[in-house]
């Protein structure tokens, strides 16, 4: 039995409205999800700030702990210092042509509070001794060797001989051999010394200070290692 057209039309319209009506639970879930997302986004800056603060604190702590500690000062003039194991603190290897400059350097070093002991060939060599013997003993009896490399040094066979003696005495250098370049181009720097940094004489006062500091640094390290070895 067929229904009337009017009844069928009303039933179809009611069924269509039922399908189009949104479910309350779906609306609530969507609203809840949007609220949660909004809360997460609003709280994100504070979380980032907290994380950034923690990283900064960690970085600061890491930086502060990474600072190297300075070695304890050493009295190189102490009577028990390893400095006194040799007769001289520094031997100046130079050409006679450069004697005036060398005498100024020696005067500067010996006037320091540490009273650095310098070997100056024309002053300290024993009269009548063989030149070769004096040069060898000067190298062996000195902690450090300043090589004043000038055009005259490069042409003097005795200077080159003393340079080779110093390199044979301490092949690894360790701060003992101190090349000082004066009035020569860097390209003329002796090949035998090219594994060592050098001091270039531009201003005399500055180069004197550099030489002094290098000698003192070596003596301090020598005395510090000697003291720690005895403990």
Give the least confident one: 57-71, 125-139, 140-154, 216-230.
57-71
For residue 189, the 8-state DSSP code is S
Provide the 10 A C-beta neighbour count for residue 164: 13
pLDDT of residue 171: 77
pLDDT for the residue 165 = 92
In this prediction the pTM is: 0.67
Between 67 and 188, residue with greater pLDDT: 188
pLDDT at 65: 52
Q: Is 161 exposed, middle or buried (0-12, 13-18, 19+ CB in 10 A)?
A: middle
- pLDDT for the residue numbered 68: 55
């Amino acid at each position: 039995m067929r229904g009337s057209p009017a009844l069928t039309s009303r039933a179809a319209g009611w069924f269509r409205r039922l399908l189009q009506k949104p479910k309350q639970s779906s609306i609530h879930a969507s609203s809840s999800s949007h609220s949660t997302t909004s809360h997460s986004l609003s709280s994100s800056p504070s979380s980032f700030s907290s994380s950034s603060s923690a990283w900064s604190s960690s970085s600061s702590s890491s930086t502060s702990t990474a600072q190297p500690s300075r070695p304890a000062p050493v009295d190189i003039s102490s009577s028990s210092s390893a400095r006194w194991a040799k007769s001289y603190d520094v031997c100046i290897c130079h050409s006679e042509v450069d004697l005036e400059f060398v005498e100024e350097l020696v005067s500067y070093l010996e006037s320091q509070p540490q009273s650095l002991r310098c070997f100056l060939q024309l002053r300290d060599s024993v009269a009548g001794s063989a030149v070769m013997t004096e040069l060898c003993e000067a190298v062996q009896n000195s902690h450090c060797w300043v090589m004043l490399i000038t055009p005259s040094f490069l042409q003097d066979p005795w200077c080159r001989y003393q340079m080779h003696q110093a390199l044979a005495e301490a092949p690894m250098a360790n701060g003992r051999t101190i090349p000082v370049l004066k009035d020569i181009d860097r390209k003329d720097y002796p090949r035998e010394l090219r594994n060592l940094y050098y001091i270039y004489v531009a201003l005399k006062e500055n180069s004197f200070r550099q030489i002094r500091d290098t000698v003192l640094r070596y003596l301090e390290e020598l005395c510090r290692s000697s003291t720690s070895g005895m403990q």
